[in-house]
Chain A
Amino acid sequence: MTTSSVKEAEAGKAVPFVPGQPDMWFFALFETLVFTAYFVVYMFARMQHHEAFLQSQAKLSLSIGTFNTLVLLVSSWSMARCVKEARVGAYRSALTNAFLTASFGVVFLGSKIYEWVREIRLGYGFASDEFFSYYFFLTGIHALHLLIGFVVLGVVVHQLRSPERRSQNLVETGAVYWHTVDFLWVLVFSLLYVVR
């Protein structure tokens, strides 16, 4: 993929390209399948103990969950802007957007930790009941993906900082990973906080 082919594709001309490395796309789709398996087990278990799950779900704060989702969506937006800016050679702006992405990621993680502490202080831990076991497992494994995302963002920043290292392909690859973390949260949020 060349920068000119990307520009032509964005201008509406038919020059399709795969953003980033295909390996990362394989990983993203594989992770989606793995999470889908977790979700299927959760949904089935939920319907076996529907009332108990609803009572425990009521202990979660929908406001905090919504805030977290909005924060991660802003981070994805700035990551998408980072890719576009790097593509047109606006590396200073791309770096700013990469730092913004990381900052929103930190806000998300801080808010998640605050929510975990809040639930534990209210007496709902990993072993309290089946709902909270799923809650801590799904949000915990997502947080682990987010932590890996910070390493990926570090690689993106490292790439963007020096003209000798700059690789658009690696920036796009990092973005594919970050957006995967984002849409996985979108799914976790709707299944833990909203479904009835």
Chain B
Amino acid sequence: MNTLVKKRLLIAWLALSLMTLGYLAMDHSADRAGALRPSVAVTIGAVLIAAAKMRIIFREFMEVRHAPAWLGRLTDLCVLLLVASLLGSYFIGRAAG
């Protein structure tokens, strides 16, 4: 495995780890005296970060960036469908609740 490939995998892993640690900061920003409070911004942020991490795993670890275009489009569609489903059910549930 050449150095460039090693470096690229390391950068992908670092980005994924930093995004995970970013959740801690998001979480503290929405806390009030140790109690969890509802937050649309934190929910949207959490879903979008999870989707970004999923896409990085697809492209870098699962090598979709070397795959034929159809597989790239299919995995992107999967990520988009997930985001739309999660945010859609969140907002529909919120309006109905």
Q: Say whether A and B bind each other.
A: yes
Docked-complex contact A18 and B67, CB < 8 angstroms: yes
A62 in the interface (beta carbon within 8 A) = yes
Residues of A within 8 A of B86 (CB): 36, 39-40, 43, 191
Docked-complex contact B37 and A183, CB < 8 angstroms: no
Docked-complex contact A194 and B23, CB < 8 angstroms: yes
Residue of B with least CB distance to A57: B36
Given that A44-B92, A48-B96, A85-B1 are known contacts, is A190 also in contact with B57, CB under 8 Å in the complex? no
With both chains docked as a complex, state the minimum distance between the C-beta of B63 and any C-beta of chain A, in angstroms.
4
With both chains docked as a complex, state the minimum distance between the C-beta of B59 and any C-beta of chain A, in angstroms.
11
Given that A36-B82, A77-B13, A81-B9 are known contacts, is A190 also in contact with B62, CB under 8 Å in the complex? no
With both chains docked as a complex, state the minimum distance between the C-beta of A32 and any C-beta of chain B, in angstroms.
5
Range class of the A interface residue count: 35 or more
Residues of B within 8 A of A73 (CB): 13, 16-17, 20
- Contact flags B71-97 to A (C-beta < 8 A → 1, else 0): 100110010011001101110111011
Docked-complex contact B57 and A186, CB < 8 angstroms: yes
A151 in the interface (beta carbon within 8 A) = no
Given that A73-B17, A76-B57, A88-B1 are known contacts, is A193 also in contact with B23, CB under 8 Å in the complex? yes
Size of chain B's interface in residues, with CB distance under 8 A? 57
A6 in the interface (beta carbon within 8 A) = yes
Residues of A within 8 A of B74 (CB): 29
- Contact flags A22-41 to B (C-beta < 8 A → 1, else 0): 00010001001100100111
Known: A36-B81, A50-B94. 13 other contacts (CB 8 A): A18-B67, A33-B81, A39-B86, A43-B93, A47-B93, A48-B96, A57-B36, A66-B21, A76-B13, A77-B9, A183-B53, A190-B49, A196-B40
Q: What are 18 A-B contacts defined by CB distance under 8 Å?
A: A6-B66, A19-B62, A32-B82, A40-B89, A49-B97, A57-B36, A66-B24, A70-B20, A73-B13, A77-B10, A79-B61, A80-B60, A183-B58, A190-B47, A190-B50, A191-B46, A195-B42, A195-B47
